[in-house]
Amino acid sequence: MRVAIEGTTLGLSSGGLARYTAELSLALARTFPEDEFYLVSDRPFAMPTAAPANLKRGGGPRNAAERRWWLWGLARELSRLGADLVHGPDFSVPYLARRPSVLTLHDLSPWMNPGWHRAAQRVRRRTPALLELGIATMVVTPGETVRRQAIERFRLRPDRVVAVPEAAAPWFGPVEPKVPDGAPYFLFVGTLEPRKNLPALLDAWREVRQSHPVDLVLAGRKRADFPEFPGSNGETGLRWIGEVPDGALAELYSGALALVYPSLYEGFGLPVLEAMQCGSPVIASRAVEETAGDAAVYAGDAREMAEAMRVLCRDSERVAELRGKSLARARQFTWERTARGTYEVYREARRRFGE
């Protein structure tokens, strides 16, 4: 099979969309060495590191007409490549259904609260049409919760939508911190955006810090629609370190008392699984329950978050217990499993195309 994967998200400096596209394309190429996979985009992007020979860079627009990428350019590039199928890993597929296509719908957050995605007007307008008109042959979601939500909201046939769980990158794992005697800290990793519910996390940490000398580290890209960062005036113990290189993330996760992830809504919550694969305890909202299972401590508001944080500050045995649960939970997810599940969706899309 020759598959084209739309790679525009690889131009993002960080975040779950870029991670998904990179890790899935690598896993597909490694798991199915007899097939060819091409990453294509109308914008500059970096190829994933250590790409196998059968994961290749495709082309982009060649003239003014092809700059209308989703209407003309991508379709023409697929023809030049002789692609059997196209996968849109970021809520879209070509507008003209000339070959089988698979669309990944990561979550329904663009349609749930306009304040969560002020720059998502195009997705809110375009994706429902691609789904409801059947232009996307098959749809992949990261879990059963999003699958059910998609079927209900967009009136999709259940057999068109398949849940394929994601995974943490294989290089995430427990490591020894370079500064083992540094101040203890709780950690948040993710894009700083309204949906992540960071004000509640800050309230909880400030309450805990009154009785425990523990820091809060926030790591991630600040999105343009995120309000002025709370505590940016130099509050003691609060550290916003911005984007963290991939090579440093495992150490950051491994050294934390816990990853605290209070998001109001998630499709999967990839940082939760990355943290678990590094052996970090996780305190989280129920938004990531499908991913974290029984390995996380769930907190519904700032008060519950603070109580969970206090327990870990004073109970090393509980920390060790949660580290073990995290590692066990993370072992249930691999990108090879994700690749095999996605490949089966590709086969089904080819079988169904034209029905």
Range 82-95 average pLDDT:
94
At 15, is the pLDDT very low, low, confident or very high (cuts 50, 70, 90)? confident
Query: At 296, which amino acid appears?
Result: A
User: What are 244-290's pLDDT values in tens digits?
Assistant: 988 899 999 999 999 999 999 999 999 999 999 999 999 999 999 99
Tell me, yes or no, whether 9 and 126 share the same domain: yes
Backbone angles phi, psi at 269, to 5 degrees: 85, 60
Higher pLDDT pick, 14 / 49: 49
Beta strands in the chain (DSSP E): 2-6, 36-40, 55-57, 85-88, 101-104, 138-141, 161-163, 185-189, 215-219, 238-242, 258-261, 282-284, 297-298
Structure tokens at 337: 């499993």
Residue 178 in any domain: the answer is no
Averaged pLDDT, 10-15:
80
Q: Does some domain include residue 180? A: no
Residue 43: strand, helix, or coil: coil
Same domain membership, residue 277 and residue 314: yes
∠ CA 345-270-223, rounded to 5°: 115
Report if residue 179 sits inside a domain: no
| Confidence at residue 172, expressed as pLDDT on a 0 to 100 scale | 95
- Do residues 58 and 154 share a domain? yes
In a domain, 207, yes or no: yes
**103 and 216 inside one domain:** no
The answer to whether residues 189 and 156 belong to one domain is: no
Which residues span the domain enclosing 101? 2-167+334-352
Residues 33-57 have pLDDT tens digits of 999 999 999 999 999 999 999 999 9
pLDDT of 84 over the 60 cut: yes
Choose among 41, 314, 306, 327: nearest CA to 172: 327
Same domain, 141 and 12: yes
pLDDT bin (cut points 50, 70, 90) of residue 235 is confident
Q: What is the pLDDT of residue 193?
A: 87
Both 211 and 316 in one domain: the answer is: yes
For position 191, what pLDDT does the model report? 87
Residue 157 and residue 322 in contact, taking contact as beta carbons nearer than 8 Å: no
Asked, for residue 317, whether it belongs to a domain, the answer is: yes
Structural domain includes residue 277: yes
Same domain, 266 and 140: no
Q: For position 228, what pLDDT does the model report?
A: 67
Kindly state the average pLDDT of the residues 315-319. 96
pLDDT above 90 for 345:
yes
| pTM as predicted | 0.91
Whether 244 and 264 map to the same domain: the answer is: yes
**Could you tell me if residue 177 is inside a domain?**
no
pLDDT at 217 over 60: yes
pLDDT level of residue 167 (50, 70, 90 thresholds)? very high
Domain co-membership, 344 together with 319? no
146 in a domain, yes or no?
yes
Indicate if the pLDDT at residue 178 is higher than 90: no
Contact residues for 276 (Cβ-Cβ < 8 A; gap 6+): 168, 282, 292, 295, 326, 327, 329, 330
302 and 193, same domain (yes or no): yes
Report the CATH number at residue 152. Answer: 3.40.50.2000
Share of the chain above pLDDT 70, in %: 95
Q: Which two tokens stand for residue 214?
A: 């523990």
Task: Compute the mean pLDDT over every residue in the chain, rounded to the nearest whole number.
Answer: 92
pLDDT digits (tens, 9 = 90+) for 111-149: 887 777 665 667 778 888 899 989 999 999 999 999 999
pLDDT at residue 236, rounded to an integer? 87
Can you tell me whether residue 297 is helix, strand or coil? strand
Does residue 274 sit in the same domain as residue 211?
yes
Task: Quote the pLDDT of residue 29.
Answer: 98
User: What total number of domains does the chain contain?
Assistant: 2
From the list 151, 162, 156, the residue with the least C-alpha distance to 134 is 156
